[in-house]
Amino acid sequence: MNRKPNLKWLRGMDWDKGSQRDLAVVIAGACLLLIIASIGFESLLKEEEKPLPDFALIKNVSERKSVFFKHMLPYVEEANYKILEQRDDIKRIQTAFLEGRRIGKRDRARIDSLVEEYKLDPVEELSEETFRHLLTRADEIPPSLALSQAALESGWGSSRFVKEGNNLFGMWCYEPGCGVVPKRRPKGKTYEVASYDTPRDSFLAYFRNLNTNRYYLEMRAILKSLRNQDLAFNGIDLAEGLDRYSQEGYRYISKVRSVIRSNKLTRFD
């Protein structure tokens, strides 16, 4: 129910005379609201930055899996929510462009920022192709796929790379000190397993990786085809395009699908 704010306390204030007392009341009230808002925001940040539980201490396998999915699903949902907001913006601006309406500075800046985020070549002039490429890259990842890969790549949250670098997907980086050095890294190799400030950052990087890396062109093509046919999609479908995610190739795809099926993860899609 919408209710009008109670402004009775403002009545009777001598604004014309610039009463210092009345002004002080207003300032104090505003400061109080800001403090309350700040405390609330900080508490949300603290909640978000809580470390993951030590999954290895949960001996019951079913319970460990349940706790794992409970902690990871919100990160997936948040990342997908952000992407769906981006798609809404792209489609809205695309509609205006196709109708021949003028694209304002703010909307043009929005498109330029998304072109950069999704690693497309900068464009001087917008075109239908610009929007098509963006909608192909800025797309959802089925929760079943993200959860399955997180489980496999992190050893159900118990790997060294999770504990030391919040990396749930085994993604690499290539600058010295950017991550955790694998103990079995081949001689002469310089890659590290990337470190992230929070598990949330790891999920965002994973989504960006699948949506931009040339290795996953096939996965994005599968998703685009299903969308064009107005068909539902899930992790079982998209896993077909992940043969280059791991050195195991198609065996890795089978593993991803097995985790999805055995844990009924498509229920989250």
The answer on pLDDT for 178 being more than 70 is yes
Predicted confidence (pLDDT) per residue in 125-172, tens digit: 999 999 999 999 999 999 999 999 999 999 999 999 999 999 999 999
pLDDT of residue 50: 75
Residue 93: DSSP 8-state: H
Query: Which amino acid does the sequence have at 92?
Result: R
* H helix runs in 99-176, sequence order: 105-117, 128-137, 143-154, 160-165
pLDDT of residue 51: 83
CA distances from 70 to 2, 14, 48 (A): 34, 56, 14
The answer on pLDDT for 14 being more than 60 is no
- Run of H or E including 192: strand 192-194
Provide the residue ranges of all domains of the chain, joining segments of one domain with +: 59-137
Between CA 244 and CA 252 the distance in angstroms is: 9
Number of H helices, E strands in the chain: 10, 3
Question: What average pLDDT does the structure give for the chain?
Answer: 88
- Run of H or E including 179: strand 179-180
Between CA 204 and CA 136 the distance in angstroms is: 17
Q: Of the given ranges (44-48, 52-56, 157-161), which has the lowest mean pLDDT?
A: 44-48
The answer on pLDDT for 265 being more than 50 is yes
pTM (two decimals):
0.81
